Amino acid sequence: MKYIEVTFPEGKIEYSLRVLVKLIGKIVLQISGVDSLEKIPEESIKVETKKKFLNISLFVRFTLEKRVPEIAWDLQKILKDQFETKTGLKIDRIDIYVQGFSSTGLNENFDNLSFPTAPELSIQNAP
């Protein structure tokens, strides 16, 4: 099993990748606009080490409650802040791959929607 180590003046902490993936998944699913991970967390969250930093790739499904750029920005900011605070590890980049959208939060009863009708067209022959 692969471990990631953080060294503090008081000592060091080793995190297994499995624990980090679970923590990332928990944080991600609490963010407004994120519906779900694409598959099981181990396949939807990729963590790579690069010198003293982590690169994270997320494969997620969004809801349509907010604009996609807003959800992505919130996801990156909140994940980075909470993850770094909880673990002491530093994140270099978070890549988000949107795998689809969910209609959660939208009105799925389309029977009550009204649309403007087009004016009637009439065909006239040329003189």
The token duo for 3 is 């471990």
Of the candidates 38, 77, 80, 37, the one whose C-alpha atom is nearest the C-alpha of residue 55 is 80
Percent of the chain with pLDDT over 70: 80
| Residue 118 pLDDT exceeds 90 | no
| Residue 100 pLDDT exceeds 60 | yes
Computed over every residue of the chain, the mean pLDDT equals 84
Question: Model-level pTM?
Answer: 0.75
pLDDT value of residue 34? 92
CA 47 remoteness from chain centre = 14
Residue 35 near residue 62 (C-beta atoms within 8 A): yes
Instruction: Express each pLDDT in 33-78 by its tens digit.
Output: 999 988 777 789 999 988 889 999 999 999 988 899 999 999 999 9
Confidence of residue 110 (pLDDT cuts 50, 70, 90): very low
pLDDT value of residue 14? 87
3-class SS string, 39-96: CCHHHHEEEEEECCEEEEEEEEEEECCCCHHHHHHHHHHHHHHHHHHHHCCEEEEEEE
Average pLDDT over residues 85-107: 85
Q: For 3-24+33-104, CATH number?
A: 3.30.300
**Those residues with Cβ within 8 angstroms of residue 95's Cβ, 6 or more apart along the chain or in another chain:** 55, 56, 57, 58
92 - beta bridge partners? none
Average pLDDT over residues 89-99: 94
